[in-house]
A = this chain, B = another copy of it.
Amino acid sequence: MCPTLAFAASGETGATDVAQILLALVILLVAAKLGGSLVVRAGQPAVLGELVFGIIIGNLHLLGINSFEFIKTDDTVRILSEIGVTLLLFQVGLESDLGKLMQVGTSSLVVATIGVVCPFGLGFLVSSVFMPQESVYVHLFVGATLCATSVGVTARVLMDLGWLKTTEARIILGAAVVDDVQGLIILAVVSGVIQAASTGGKALSTWAIVLIILKALLFLSGALIIGRWIAPKVFHIASRLSASDLLLTTALAICFSFAYLAACIGLAPIVGAFAAGLILDEVHWRTFRERGEHSVEELVKPLTAFLVPVFFVVMGSRVEIRSFAHVEVLGLAAVVTLAAILGKLACGIGALEKGLDRLSIGIGMVPRAEVGLIFASIGTRLRLYGEPLVSESTFSVMIIMVILTTLVTPVGLKWSIARAARKKTKSGEVSHREGNTH
């Protein structure tokens, strides 16, 4: 793509791929801002435009334009975008309050549990009814795929709409963390059961499952309790170093460490980043602020401004419009998607506090995004009696489900939040959001 000179130094040490990444970043940033701007004018959250422009870029090959194909497959672009979503959840964590999150902890737990049980049941049911030829293990796997919420899109919409400080947002974020742990357990159990069936061996032992749960709980409690105790000490040591930019660097090092540790035990890196954001507090960097430095929130903003749109455009670009071309799977895809959406909408009733907008909570839990794709792709690699468990057409169904649940969330959440705001204004209640804007 880059017309290199015969003797160009840059072509000789792989510097060309730096050029290619720079080009990719230009395309992604321009697409994000044009797409975002268009949908914002149409009254939708910017993230929808980023996803849609991503889909356009990712499918230009259908028009014979192949220049942008590398964006979908390049490892560095993918990792940059994933650093972006890691920083997004770190930022969301920074702007959240652990104490207030804990106050609605029971609600989060109930919401997450309903949001796992209902989609699992509905998915199993739909799969049994519409794919009677498939084995019970496929039904189990379809059910499992519908369980895991991916909170990136929701977090972004809540942030765009300034809704992050509401009780509903707290319940959603807490539930997303619980949901990730539950998803991990379900994936392990279902995979174990299927592997056991396939090899005729023993199913996954109870001990293995307990171990997964223990590790996850250990990480989360460790992060929140030990992390909260160690973080001030780390900042104190950092404040005594003589290098520059120590506040941002220390915060990033903590964020990336937590994300790394989360990934090590099988949780999503974003769960670790969110936990890191939660435990960091304004008081930890008082020494730095007294020297006139910016706060961590302000320092992280340019990083997320750069990399978060990259994440959503890249995510959009991975959508193959061709998956919709399989007419025979479209009907099934519609039913599975409906099950996926209804199953999560139901979880809103798990929120225990009074006067909440339970519909918004349900919609916030709808997107499956990359977590759903990970489940589905594992399914294609699992083998039952030598055959892939998840057939190509079932995989297409899963992909369509993931695309639709992701795209429907910004629109749905924007609508339901506006609706809730109108209702509250009408009933004369003083909403906490109004309290924030004054």
Q: Mark A354-397, 1 if CB is under 8 A from B, else 0.
A: 00000000000000001101110110010000000000000000
Q: Is A228 an interface residue (CB 8 A)?
A: no
**New A-B pairs, 16, CB < 8 Å, besides A9-B266, A10-B267, A46-B243:** A3-B264, A5-B212, A7-B191, A7-B378, A10-B268, A10-B269, A15-B269, A17-B75, A22-B263, A22-B269, A36-B244, A76-B76, A245-B302, A245-B305, A249-B306, A300-B302
Q: Which of A70-108 contact B (CB under 8 A)?
A: 75-76, 78-80, 82-83, 86
Say whether B378 contacts A9, CB under 8 Å.
yes
Q: Is A166 an interface residue (CB 8 A)?
A: no
Say whether A37 contacts B79, CB under 8 Å.
no
- Please, which residues of chain B bring their CB within 8 A of the CB of A79? 17-18, 21, 76
Give the residue name and chain of the B residue nearest to A371 (CB).
B9
- Please, which residues of chain B bring their CB within 8 A of the CB of A260? 2, 19, 22-23, 26
Say whether B238 contacts A2, CB under 8 Å.
no
Q: Is A265 an interface residue (CB 8 A)?
A: yes
**Complex-state Cα separation, A270 to B212, whole angstroms:** 47
Say whether B41 contacts A242, CB under 8 Å.
yes
**Complex-state Cα separation, A303 to B4, whole angstroms:** 29
* A295 vs chain B, min Cβ distance (A): 12
Main secondary structure of the interface of A (DSSP, over half): helix
Q: Which of B242, B243, B250, B302 contacts A299 (CB 8 A)?
A: B302
Say whether B264 contacts A33, CB under 8 Å.
no
Say whether B263 contacts A2, CB under 8 Å.
yes
- Among all A-B residue pairs, the 5 with the closest Cβ atoms: A8-B266, A245-B305, A19-B263, A36-B243, A37-B241
Q: Which of B191, B242, B267, B378 contacts A37 (CB 8 A)?
A: B242
Say whether A238 contacts B33, CB under 8 Å.
yes
Say whether B263 contacts A10, CB under 8 Å.
yes
Question: Given known contacts A76-B79, A79-B17, is B305 in contact with A32 (CB within 8 Å)?
Answer: no
Give the residue name and chain of the B residue nearest to A212 (CB).
B5
**Complex-state Cα separation, A246 to B40, whole angstroms:** 13
Say whether A373 contacts B13, CB under 8 Å.
yes
- Please, which residues of chain B bring their CB within 8 A of the CB of A309? 245, 249
Q: Is A110 an interface residue (CB 8 A)?
A: no
Q: Is A16 an interface residue (CB 8 A)?
A: yes
Q: Which of A79, A309, A370 has the most CB of B within 10 A?
A: A79
Give the residue name and chain of the B residue nearest to A75 (CB).
B76
- Please, which residues of chain B bring their CB within 8 A of the CB of A305? 244-245, 248-249, 299
**Complex-state Cα separation, A16 to B260, whole angstroms:** 9
- Please, which residues of chain B bring their CB within 8 A of the CB of A78? 14
Stretch in A58-66, A251-259, A282-290, A418-426 with 4+ CB within 8 Å of B = A251-259
Q: 19 pairs across A/B with beta carbons < 8 Å?
A: A2-B263, A5-B265, A7-B191, A10-B263, A13-B373, A18-B269, A19-B260, A21-B79, A25-B252, A26-B260, A33-B250, A36-B244, A46-B244, A80-B80, A160-B244, A245-B301, A245-B302, A249-B309, A300-B302
* A158 vs chain B, min Cβ distance (A): 14
**Complex-state Cα separation, A327 to B386, whole angstroms:** 60
Say whether A22 contacts B249, CB under 8 Å.
no
Say whether A7 contacts B187, CB under 8 Å.
yes
Give the residue name and chain of the B residue nearest to A267 (CB).
B10
- Please, which residues of chain B bring their CB within 8 A of the CB of A6? 188
- Please, which residues of chain B bring their CB within 8 A of the CB of A49? 243
**Complex-state Cα separation, A216 to B280, whole angstroms:** 49
Question: Given known contacts A18-B79, A253-B29, is B5 in contact with A37 (CB within 8 Å)?
Answer: no
Q: Which of A5, A25, A75 has the most CB of B within 10 A?
A: A5
Q: Mark A230-248, 1 if CB is under 8 A from B, else 0.
A: 0000000010011111101
**Complex-state Cα separation, A245 to B245, whole angstroms:** 22
